[in-house]
A and B are shown apart, each in its own frame.
Chain A
């Protein structure tokens, strides 16, 4: 496939069962400190996602979905195999990365945005849009710690939703705030997702969400690929399995 946005090839991710040790144990038996057991969370998964596609990832708890997503986001690299993003920018949609509670909302937009790898100029450009979307009004110049939890997540959602990337990874669809904002954020999410140039990966336990949003579905079971195909094909079988 030449128009692939993400290529994942034979990816294996191991967790080293490295327990924390106390200082004396580390001194007494350095072997225990270095000896490690491995636990393989993702056992050789390969797939390709064409540009513009929306892929849902399903599987039961602990099957390695989130691990895979984090590896694709580059938070850690796979122990074996390759992940190629073909030069696309990527972000894992997550709430409130790197917020400093005693600073104002405005300053936190910069902090969070820069952490996500955007330049200061770009954030400046998008600043008004973020503030407007967040509906925070005057509160944007108050410290974040004075926000209600709803306001907090509204701001966080607005940052990630407005500062968009070519590939977006979503771990459980975010629905935040009151009923009105929930609707608005869901609509915004849908708008982001359905942009034809954007490739999206969604991890979710809700079959409803997957059915509504995704073109294709990847089913992971115990770290292995169980099925990969169109939503109509895979989802009924997954639902059947989960019953």
Chain B
């Protein structure tokens, strides 16, 4: 733990600079590529709204905003986790030449995809004004919700990063699992109003056992519907997230010697 804090301090400047330059590098590729940070979720929102409304007959108040929030949260989570699989191999040229705590790379990914998420979340605000969503003080709950999202994402990614070094075809497995996660997290339907009436047990399980679904549901609750977040479930997941983060960080520290030798 002490080592973790010390390393965070020591490598903070590098992490920040690396995030900046990763973003810059993306923009340098093509002139308007930052537009894609907004366009990407926006276009997906249109696709899923279309499918959900016309094919599955979904009806939620402020439906496009509803889908947009879900997509933003999910894309952040899945992109960071997916990038974790090949993270160490991808940084081979660094890892074999200087010492660097390996979690710095995860911080970097969270920073890069986090900034993109915040940019497209700004668009959420525009949508909310456009649809005249009544906003209350409860909207402030998004701050702890974002924090929880970062913790959970970090926790999952540490574990994935570790096994990604040794298990060759992990990417295939993760891709399928994430695809499943995409459909059960309720991105373009509401678990509360579509699943709950059919089976309360399944609905409760879907929300409470999947932290991403929980975060998504509560973000919509506090931003759009002036509702209450699931206080207890959130607190439990915060504890779980911190514990798994600590375990994951430990595992990475313990095995970082062998990473250099395997890749």
Contact = CB atoms under 8 A, between A and B. Distances in A.
Interface of A: 15-16, 18, 20-23, 26, 33, 70, 73-77, 79, 91-92, 94, 96-103, 107, 110-111, 114-117, 119-120, 143
Given A16-B258, A143-B28, A116 B98 contact: yes
A20 B262 contact: yes
A21 B10 CA distance: 34
Interface in B221-263: 256-258, 260-262
Contacts of A101: 25
B18 to A, nearest CB: 7
A91 B22 CA distance: 25
14 contacts: A16-B258, A20-B167, A20-B262, A21-B168, A22-B168, A22-B169, A23-B169, A23-B173, A73-B98, A98-B93, A102-B28, A103-B21, A107-B24, A117-B10
Given A77-B257, A92-B98, A102 B17 contact: no
Contacts of B260: 70, 75-76
A21 B167 contact: yes
Interface string B24-38: 110011000000000
B100 A111 contact: no
A18 B260 CA distance: 12
Given A73-B99, A77-B257, A111-B18, A102 B167 contact: no
Nearest to A79: B257
Contacts of A97: 93-94, 97-98
Given A18-B258, A20-B262, A119-B13, A102 B170 contact: no
B167 A26 contact: yes
Interface of B: 10, 13-14, 17-18, 21-22, 24-25, 28-29, 93-100, 166-170, 172-173, 256-258, 260-262
Contacts of A102: 25, 28-29
B64 to A, nearest CB: 34
B interface, over-half SS? helix
Nearest to B99: A74
B28 A75 contact: no
Given A102-B25, A115-B100, 11 more contacts: A21-B168, A23-B172, A70-B96, A75-B260, A76-B256, A92-B98, A100-B21, A100-B22, A103-B25, A114-B13, A143-B28
A77 B261 CA distance: 12
A20 B169 CA distance: 10
Given A21-B166, A103-B25, A94 B97 contact: yes
B143 to A, nearest CB: 30
A92 B98 CA distance: 7
Contact of B257 (A26, A76, A107): A76
Contacts of B257: 76-77, 79
Contacts of B95: 75
- 3 smallest A-B Cβ distances: which pairs? A76-B257, A114-B14, A102-B25
Contacts of B173: 23
Contacts of A23: 167-170, 172-173
Nearest to A16: B258
Most buried by B among A21, A23, A26, A116: A23
Contacts of B94: 97-98, 115
B14 A115 contact: yes
Contacts of A20: 166-168, 262
B98 A22 contact: no
A235 B212 CA distance: 64
